[in-house]
Each structure stands twice: as C-alpha cells, then as structure tokens.
Amino acid sequence: MSPAVFAHGHLRLYLLSLLAERSMHGYELIQALSDRFGGTYVPSAGTIYPRLAKLEEEGLVTKEADGRKTVYAITDAGRAELEQRAGDLDGIEVELTDSVRRLADEVRSSVTDAMKTLRADLAAAAREARESAEAFGTTTPADADDPRVQSRARLRDAEAALTEFRAELRAEMRVQTARGILPQEVVDTLTSGLRDLRREVIAQLRR
C-alpha cells in the first residue's frame, strides 16, 4: 500500500492484526482493508501477497489450501509480536483515521471534477445535436433529398452520440478510479466491446 496510507512496515503489522481476528484468504484481506477505508482505497494483490509471503517466511503466519483458495492464519509467534507491538498498532489506527479523512477529501474533489467534466461534455453534445437539427431544418426540400446533405446530418448525430458516450463513461470511470475500484475486467470489456463495434461499423460503411 502507498506510503501515504501506511508508514514503512506498518502494513505488515496491520495484516497480522486482521488475521488475529480470523483466518482469511488474500481477497478477504484486500476486502477487509477496503472496508476499513470506507472503499476509498483498495490495495492491489501485488501489494498484499508479497507481504503475506514475507510473514510466512518469518513464521508469523501459515497458509493452507482450501479448494482453489489459500487461507492465511496467524501463528503463536504472530500473536506474540502483536502483543509486543500493541502500542505501535494503536498508533497505526490513529494514522488510518487520518488517512481515511484525507482520501475521502481527495475522492470528493475528484468526484466534483468528474461531474464538472461530465456536465461540460454533455452540454457540448447537446449543442452539437441542436446545431445538427438546426442545420437540417434550414435545408430546402430539394436539399433534404440530397444524399450528401443527409449524410452530413447523420455524421453530426453520430458524433454527438460518440461525445455523449465518452463523456458518461469517462466521468463514471474517473469517479470509480478516485475510489480505488476500477476493475481490470471493466477495461477489458470496454476494449473488446469497442473493438468489435468498430469492426462492425467499418464493415457497414464499406459495403
């Protein structure tokens, strides 16, 4: 986890404190940490698992396979270290309270910025749609039958739709990113979906 949240070595001790409450697998530990931060921060697997491996090497935790999951449990040596460092753990709790407040402030700021961007982009899309309608409305009946005039009107409609699509998704993803919860599968879905849509649209245009 970022040093802005945990000081050096503090995450290691905090993981021990979570495992002292009950045995957990890696995802449960990630979720437990996220819950402590009210969802404002979600540690990555690359942050948690190396520290669990280190704790295991030191004999402070053990791991056991449970189906396809690996469950971690604190050892007697781990509980002894927690007792010896009870004062440090109290200090970590104070730091966490400050970190949660700071992250919450950052999220509020990011959400506000994202909503401002969304409103600006939606206003631009609406303006383009109005201009498209006005331009098409001023054409003569003869112009309205002209394929080039119709194509220009459709292009403006398509560009307005693209702008609105981008604005809404961009704002939502920025909000979730500020909260630390933008899953990779969302990016994969967006990438593959847009790739398939692009191919289909281009194929229709070239018929």
Cα dihedral sign, 163-169-175-179 = negative
Residue 172 or residue 122, greater confidence: 172
Share of residues in the chain with pLDDT > 70 (%) = 67
Residue 86 or residue 96, greater confidence: 86
pLDDT digits (tens, 9 = 90+) for 119-162: 666 666 666 666 655 555 555 555 556 777 778 778 877 887 88
pTM above threshold 0.85: no
**Cα separation, 152 vs 123, whole angstroms:** 21
**Cα separation, 73 vs 82, whole angstroms:** 14
**Cα separation, 138 vs 117, whole angstroms:** 32
> Which residue has 């509020």 as its token pair?
108
pLDDT digits (tens, 9 = 90+) for 24-62: 999 899 988 888 766 666 778 888 999 999 999 999 999
**Cα separation, 201 vs 16, whole angstroms:** 54
φ/ψ of residue 2, rounded to 5: -60, 140
Q: In Å, how far are 27, 73, 85, 179, 184 from 191, measured between CA atoms?
A: 25, 39, 47, 22, 11
